[in-house]
Amino acid sequence: MIFLLRELLGVALFWALGVAIVRLFVKSISTPAKLLIVFLGVGIGAGTSSIIWFLLYAVAHLKPIFPITFEIVCLGAALWAGHWTNERKKEWVAESEDSGPKLLPTLLVAAPVLSAAAYFCMSSWITPDGEWDGWAIWNLHARILFKALHFWTGEMAALPFSHPDYPLLEPLAIVRLWVFGGHESPLGPVLIGFVFTFATVGVLFSAIALLKGWWQAAIGVVTLLGVSTFVHLGAAQYADVPLSFFLLSSVALVACYTVSRNRHFMALAGLASGFAAWTKNEGWLFAGVLLFGYCILVFWQEKKMDLIRDVQYFAAAFAIPALITIIEKKMVPSASDVMTWASEWNSWLKLLEWKRISLILTNFGSYLWSLDHWIVNPILVLAAFGLLVGVESRAAIRRTGLTGFVSVLLTLIGYVVIYAISEQDVVWYINSSLQRLYLQLLPVFLFSFLMFCRSPFAQ
């Protein structure tokens, strides 16, 4: 029990740090805004603490007391700065004018959340070390950092099957909890998987409740948790769920900026996108297409200098974790086992092989239709819902949905290209990864869809 309490203390520290950082940027007024701050704090705190541990623990090889002390100092500084700058911060966007009741949708969400939590705990009890990618990649990287700190770059490079080029946000988050607990245990990865899984649910609910209303938010949560493989992926201790958290947070924060015109949201969106790149390589692709999609959609509607400032805020915050990711990749002498450029022209010429492209697109369609063990495919349910309620009347809200749709579409196109030019066997590659890629984007798609559709209780 004492080990559990100590690791929970580690979670509480990075969570509090994340909340304090988010509160530096904007005020919270309504209940959904306060909830959004709390849930965003999970990822922002985990990302910030992992950078601190990377620099002080993995690079400088200092004793754990130093990064822990630095985290506490940063928390105190953020709280102090937030207190003294409170009057100069801009408010969050006003809560949606949804005339529907708030208690009923909240109760509607409670049942699937509790069921999902029980399912997560049961899965973790059965497989406490996670599944293949959990113990063979992310937990293995954490063990190397925990047990062979002074030799971690060489140890990772010597294990090509574990993707030594992958970023270190999740492994370092696990190492933190092992340090707090005093020993290596399955509990650390389980806690990280749990908080990210349900923080993703929390961001989806609170962001939609803030911008569209409580009923729309409840629909999003029920649909997401209806895909049991999403919760299972978190219990399997894969980094795809933390990545999904950051992808959703990036799109939701861009949506908040679109409505409020407070550029601090663009900075937070850039930071979340940077942490996505610091979580998995796919984060780089999504950050690029999100910014590109946003610029394309607003190019004719904003002054060019305003658009440039938007990009500057996003890029400045994105650069911090992105630079850390580049440094880490330079330190590990290993190339990606997925992409090899030994025969660069031959790889790109594969894009001209229609048989290969057709096979990829066919698998994309079949995996999308059979993503989970459904009796009725939720795609049909969502389509019926959209036809019933119609399109959102407010242009700014509609644009947030379109931004998410464009980002998801361009990301999927990027995945098709990667599958096409990869040196891996394309069938094996798709079977081992495509379901997870869809689940990474599922919360973003749901958020974008519900932004684009009218709320059932809209005035």
Reported as a single tens digit per residue, the pLDDT across 154-193 is 999 888 888 898 999 999 999 999 999 999 999 999 999 9
Greatest Cα-to-Cα distance within the chain, rounded to the nearest angstrom: 62
Is 8 contained in some domain?
yes
* Amino acid present at 423: E
Share of the chain above pLDDT 90, in %: 67
Mean pLDDT of the chain: 89
| Domain assignment of residue 252, given as a range | 2-82+96-338
The phi and psi torsions of 99 (rounded to 5 degrees) equal -85, -5
**Apex 322 CA angle, 347 and 161, nearest 5:** 50
Q: How many domains does the chain divide into? A: 1
CA distance 221 to 200: 10
CB-CB contact of 140 with 130 (8 Å):
no
Q: Residue 282: pLDDT above 60? A: yes
pLDDT more than 70, % of the chain? 92
pLDDT tier at 345 (50, 70, 90 boundaries)? Answer: very low
Residue 403 has pLDDT above 60, yes or no: yes
Q: Six-digit token pair at 114?
A: 């509790």
Tokens 């780089």 correspond to: 284
Alpha helix stretches (DSSP H) within 332-394: 344-349, 354-369, 378-389
Where does 24-138 have alpha helices with state H?
31-53, 65-84, 103-126, 132-133
Would you give the DSSP letter of residue 94?
P
Say if residue 20's pLDDT is above 60.
yes
Over 60: is that where the pLDDT of 398 sits? yes
- Could you tell me if residue 251 is inside a domain? yes
Domain assignment of residue 149, yes or no:
yes
Does residue 458 fall inside a structural domain? no
Integer-rounded Cα radius of gyration of the chain: 21
Residue 173 in domain: yes
Decide if pLDDT at 27 tops 80.
Answer: no
Report yes or no on 451 lying in a domain: no
Which residues sit opposite 26 in a β-bridge? 90
Q: Residue 420 — pLDDT band, cuts 50, 70, 90?
A: confident
User: What pLDDT score was predicted for residue 98?
Assistant: 57
Residues 6 or more apart whose CB falls under 8 angstroms from that of 320 comprise 51, 271, 274
Report how far residue 446's alpha carbon sits from residue 378's, in angstroms, rounded to the nearest whole number.
11
| DSSP secondary structure letter of residue 366 | H
Least confident among 37-51, 166-180, 368-382: 368-382
Choice among 4-8, 199-203, 288-292 with the minimum mean pLDDT: 4-8
pLDDT at 416: 92
Note the pLDDT of residue 90. 56
Q: Is 111 inside a domain boundary?
A: yes
Q: Residue 261 class from Cβ within 10 Å (0-12 exposed, 13-18 middle, 19+ buried)?
A: middle
Stretch among 21-35, 110-124, 170-184, 306-320 having the lowest mean pLDDT: 21-35
Q: Select, from the ranges 123-137, 289-303, 330-344, the one with the highest average predicted confidence (pLDDT).
A: 123-137
Pick the closest to residue 214 from 108, 114, 359 (CA basis): 108
Residue labelled with tokens 């997925």: 338
- Is pLDDT above 90 for 84? no
Identify the top-confidence range among 80-94, 352-366, 398-412: 398-412
Given a cut of 80, whether residue 301 has pLDDT beyond it is: no
Residues 432-457, mean pLDDT to the nearest whole number? 93
pTM of the model: 0.94
Rounded mean pLDDT, 263-272: 96
Residue 100 within a domain: yes
SS3 content of the chain, % helix, strand, coil (to 5): 80, 0, 20
Note the residue count of the chain.
459
- Determine the Cα angle at 296 with ends 360 and 246, to 5°: 65
Instruction: State yes or no: pLDDT of 211 exceeds 90.
Output: yes
